[in-house]
Structure 1
Amino acid sequence: MATGTDASPFHPDLRLARFLPRTAVTAGNRRLVRAMGSVGAGRAPRKGELVTLPSGARLRVHWPSGAAGPHLPAVLHIHGGGLIIGSARSGDRANRRLADTLGAVVASVDYRLPPEHPYPAPLDDCEAALAWLAEHHRVDSTRVAVTGESAGGGLAAALTARTVDAGRITLAGQALMYPMLDDRTAADPTQPDPPYLRLWNGASNRLGWGLYLGAQASTPPADAVPARRDHLSGFPPTWIAVGTLDLFRDEDHAFAERLAAAGVACEIVTVPGAYHGFDVAEPHASVSIDTTRRLTEALRGMLKS
């Protein structure tokens, strides 16, 4: 799996990889990391607005610069954080850029977090955010896509499943960055992690899923874990990207294969030598820029009229 002249497993563009921790979240630092991420969450984004949903969860809305009138395409963004940390505010810059690049409304939901708000609260907030967006008088409800990274990608897939089942909204597509889809990944604590993991490992995965599923962890509900869904027919066009050194590599590929088998148009981009969250940790690396560009173009294709 060597990608560089020094036989490092990491992509040569990702120069910080060898210095990063194997995980960013532990049972010991979860509360601190979560508190740090919530700073500024109550302030509206620059050139945008802050909407409060009925549950109290907030929606950070980025209107495209210079776009006027109704019938705008829209993207619902769901942030990552292993289901237990993170905030929509961290994506403000990227979502502002995405809104202007696509000429679309981009809204990011600050869903409630466990353990105070386990499943289904986070997914309910995502569903409420999607409804707000699709029903807005300036939005073309036939051109709404969902996107998210890591846990946000998993919640996006779970939301897509709910939307397919409900039949009230027909999504234009879903674009998922290294989505967290399967609670069975690294479920055995006796199995060692591969040495190349960065920013998210098996212990953190067990912590995240455990707090999210709560009392239902032993028998997860049908719509809580996307990889456990028994059928994927009816899903919209899907784009997935995941690195070869990501804990979620195998579950993401398995999900893509199941989508294709169900007749869903699905593209999966495998990024050689990329670790979990590489584009966030090293956004200026050429491989990160290229992957972000491909994500943007995938959304553009989904939203075209």
Structure 2
Amino acid sequence: MTVPPGLRVHPELAPFLASLPPFADPYEDIEATRESFRALLASNPADRSGIRSERFDIPRADGSALTVEVYRPEDAEGAAQGGVLPAVLHFHGGGYALGRSLPGQDRAAIALCRELPAVTVTVEYRLAPEHRYPAGVEDCYLALEWTARRAAELGIDPERIAVTGKSAGGGLSAAVALMARDRGGPRLAYQSMCVPDLDDRVAEEPIPADAAPGAGAADAAPDPRLNSLRTIRLAWQHYLPEGAAADAYAAAARASDLSGLPPAYVLVCDLDPLRDGGLAYARRLMDAGVPVTVRNVRGAWHGFELYAPETRIAKEMTAHWRGHLKAALYPEAAVGPGVE
């Protein structure tokens, strides 16, 4: 399938889009989808050189355990004075229903651990539809509390803890920041949200039957190979309890007050139906007095970097969000302009 003439795809990405199959419903057989994802990860193991990791079980109130994995540079003494590093909690994406990495193989956590450097904590939060809201976000907040409480033991500076994630992970990052503020929990230094899923109401928008390719990020499906409002609707249907309305900890865009939140980074992509919701949330953070950095990746779609990781546009995007995260945790680091 070629790229439709009206679809504003970045020229560097056009060959990759042309090779993609139509976007499939991941929830039709969620176990098969998860198994395919695990097989893909196993076929291409991450480079763990210079990184060590350890798994911990955190008791929940009901007696069950939440598993987290802590990644740390092997030469922590050389990475930071006294071996004390900032910490980043990484919440994986996957529509709240998949996306969990294999033990010791969280690529995003390993990259942040090595490049910032930082202690990175990955959270194996409970997945929908077996465990619907608020299970997943409560797990993420529990992991934040545990990390802050054990900062000395983990070699973490408790004043430099950030949360980050892509897609559903970005939504969870925003929700955890709200929870920490509202519950008087650990003070976050930063919240970094990439293509975040923040608002269940975007899936309630009517889908125009005659939506033209390239007409805008709010289209139902600017191309059948891309993420669409239909896919987002499915994710929220499987995440929220049946018949229940979302609140601010399920969908951060529903929060009425965004003041007092940590500085934020919001990255969106041109051809992503989540774009407008991400930009609206960033604007509301600005209006509430929260420092915000915004990046729009022109001509790109949701998750494009998974298919085209070696392209210039993917490398620049990754360097941008990691660079701003590093600058927040290491204030002496230099980064580029705030809004692009």
Give the TM-score taking structure 2 as reference length: 0.81
Corresponding residue SS for 2:31: helix
- 274-283 or 74-83, which deviates more: 274-283
Query: Is residue 2:74 matched to residue 1:65?
Result: yes
Write the distance in 2 (CA, Å) between the matches of 1:197 and 1:241. 23
Corresponding residue SS for 1:153: helix
Does the C-alpha gap of structure 1 residues 129 and 257 become closer, same or farther in structure 2, counting only changes over 3 Å? same
Is the CA contact 1:76–1:146 (under 8 Å) kept in the aligned structure 2? yes
Shift of 1:96: 1.2
Q: 2:92 aligns with which of 67, 74, 79?
A: 79
- 82-91 or 261-270, which deviates more: 82-91
Query: Is residue 2:300 matched to residue 1:270?
Result: no
Query: Is residue 2:208 matched to residue 1:208?
Result: no
Does the C-alpha gap of structure 1 residues 156 and 88 become closer, same or farther in structure 2, counting only changes over 3 Å? farther
Write the distance in 2 (CA, Å) between the matches of 1:144 and 1:197. 39
Shift of 1:8: 4.9
User: Which fold has the larger relative contact order, with Cα–Cα distance below 8 Å and residues 6 or more apart in sequence?
Assistant: 1
Write the distance in 2 (CA, Å) between the matches of 1:275 and 1:197. 12
Write the distance in 2 (CA, Å) between the matches of 1:24 and 1:71. 44
Query: Is residue 2:113 matched to residue 1:99?
Result: yes
Is the CA contact 1:197–1:247 (under 8 Å) kept in the aligned structure 2? no
Is the CA contact 2:55–2:70 (under 8 Å) kept in the aligned structure 1? yes
- Residue identity in the other structure for 1:98: L
Shift of 1:195: 2.2
Query: Is residue 2:134 matched to residue 1:117?
Result: no
Does the C-alpha gap of structure 1 residues 216 and 53 become closer, same or farther in structure 2, counting only changes over 3 Å? farther
Corresponding residue SS for 2:76: coil
Question: Could you say what the CA RMSD is over the residues aligned between the two structures, in angstroms?
Answer: 2.5
Does the C-alpha gap of structure 1 residues 131 and 36 become closer, same or farther in structure 2, counting only changes over 3 Å? farther
Q: 1:88 aligns with which of 86, 101, 111?
A: 101
Is the CA contact 1:78–1:156 (under 8 Å) kept in the aligned structure 2? yes
Structure 1: gaps (5+ residues): none
Does the C-alpha gap of structure 1 residues 52 and 261 become closer, same or farther in structure 2, counting only changes over 3 Å? same
**What does residue range 1-305 of structure 1 map to in structure 2 within 5 Å?**
8-14=7-13, 15-38=15-38, 46=48, 47-54=52-59, 55-68=64-77, 69=82, 71-89=84-102, 92-136=106-150, 137=152, 138-188=155-205, 190-192=207-209, 193-196=220-223, 198-217=225-244, 219-304=245-330
Structure 2: gaps (5+ residues): 210-219, 332-340
Corresponding residue SS for 1:204: helix
Q: CA deviation digits over 1:97-139, x for unaligned, max 9?
A: 2111112101111111112110111001101111222222211
Q: CA deviation digits over 1:242-283, x for unaligned, max 9?
A: 111011011001001000000000011011001001122221
Is the CA contact 1:197–1:275 (under 8 Å) kept in the aligned structure 2? no
- 92-101 or 120-129, which deviates more: 92-101
Does the C-alpha gap of structure 1 residues 52 and 289 become closer, same or farther in structure 2, counting only changes over 3 Å? same
Does the C-alpha gap of structure 1 residues 168 and 94 become closer, same or farther in structure 2, counting only changes over 3 Å? closer
- Residue identity in the other structure for 1:110: E
- Residue identity in the other structure for 2:34: R
Does the C-alpha gap of structure 1 residues 37 and 57 become closer, same or farther in structure 2, counting only changes over 3 Å? farther
Does the C-alpha gap of structure 1 residues 129 and 36 become closer, same or farther in structure 2, counting only changes over 3 Å? farther
- Residue identity in the other structure for 1:191: P
Write the distance in 1 (CA, Å) between the matches of 2:97 and 2:250. 15
Give the TM-score taking structure 1 as reference length: 0.90
